[in-house]
Amino acid sequence: MTDDSLPAEVRALYPFASCRRETPTGARQHYIDEGTGRPVLMLHGNPTWSFFYRDLVKALRGTHRCIAPDHLGMGLSDAPPPEKFGYTLAAHIDTAEALVHDLGLIHFDLVVHDWGGAIGMGLAERMPDRVGRIVIMNTAAFPSPRIPFRIRVCRWPVFGAFLTHGLNGFVRAALRMTTVKPLPRAVRKGYAFPYRDRARRRTVHRFVRDIPLDESHPAMPVLRGIEDALPRLADKPVLVAWGGRDWCFNDSFYEEWLRRFPRAESLHVAQAGHYLLEDAGDEIIPAIGRFLGSDRGSSAPTEQSGRRSP
């Protein structure tokens, strides 16, 4: 899937030059790389793509280098067959780590949302000396017994597969259930556009099935390892920005993050849903800008090496 296939109304919202890199699996990963300054790596969740961060990138690119990749199988990235890429939590962390090395990011800040939280914190665990400030939005990086039934249904091998990549039900439901305010038509179209492709809808299903519900799940040891490493990130400056009307990552997750990072700054927007940048971007994006901007002038160097042309 290429960026030149984006409808004009989506391109108007997402006016970025596309970059691509070959991953260790041979698949090509799409990402955007906008602005100059201290790098900020933004990791999305399921079933979104870098489109989720479009307004944050526009706000920060005057002072920061904003890098927002699409996970393999999502957005405008390739969707390699499962025999070539496992679509597991560990595999996504591997891909993110390879991106950091390819772009020569010696020091960078991190913004995570949804399943990007586990991927991002797994990345931070592997390279804690490179990660500076961390922005956490409606996500988890630790096991939880609270998995809503509507998520569990999508995990079912036959019906769940039919629902997610047959009917595109997971993406369609997300467009209605993740915000308090209805999304404008062009924004809905932007979120849904990559998932016209059945291969990417299969990835949506694989993401859901990779959520570990018990200790026997193959992703559980990876998630437990990330959870065990969180205390080693406790000295990092952290902002926990949260939408209070998220039916999946509800306020119990928000409270758990603050328990684990008691020195964190926090911003709770009661009338924002899971896609909090859509419901409350006017409040949350300036707060993220202030939080990341306060790092300017630190002793950490600013990297520009590794930038790739579209």
Cβ-Cβ contacts under 8 Å for 139 (sequence gap 6 or more): 45, 112, 113, 114, 115, 116, 117, 118, 249, 253
286-304 confidence digits (pLDDT tens)? 999 999 995 443 333 334 3
Predicted local distance difference test score (pLDDT) of residue 173: 79
Residue 75 backbone class (left: φ over 0; alpha: ψ -120 to 50; beta: rest): left
11 has a pLDDT exceeding 80? yes
Identify whether 168 is part of a domain.
Answer: yes
Q: How confident is the model at residue 215 (pLDDT cuts 50, 70, 90)?
A: confident
For the segment 145-169, the average pLDDT, to the nearest whole number, is 51
Identify whether 300 is part of a domain.
Answer: no
Q: How confident is the model at residue 154 (pLDDT cuts 50, 70, 90)?
A: very low
Identify whether 54 is part of a domain.
Answer: yes
212-237 b/e (C-beta count within 10 Å ≥ 16 → b): beeeeeebbebbeebbebbeebeebb
* Max intra-chain CA distance, the chain: 54
37-57 confidence digits (pLDDT tens)? 999 999 999 999 999 999 999
Instruction: Indicate the residue type of 158.
Output: V
Predicted local distance difference test score (pLDDT) of residue 103: 98
For the segment 239-243, the average pLDDT, to the nearest whole number, is 98
What domain count does the chain have?
1
Catalytic residues: 114, 246, 274
Q: What's the CATH number where 25 sits?
A: 3.40.50.1820
Identify whether 83 is part of a domain.
Answer: no
265 has a pLDDT exceeding 80? yes
155 has a pLDDT exceeding 70? no
Q: How confident is the model at residue 252 (pLDDT cuts 50, 70, 90)?
A: very high
Identify whether 115 is part of a domain.
Answer: yes
Domain span including residue 226: 3-77+92-293
Nearest alpha carbon to residue 69 among 59, 105, 132: 105
Which residue blocks in the chain are alpha helix, DSSP H? 8-13, 54-60, 89-102, 116-126, 149-155, 159-161, 169-177, 185-192, 198-209, 220-229, 251-260, 276-293
If DSSP codes are grouped into helix, strand and coil, which group holds residue 73?
Answer: coil
For the segment 196-207, the average pLDDT, to the nearest whole number, is 77
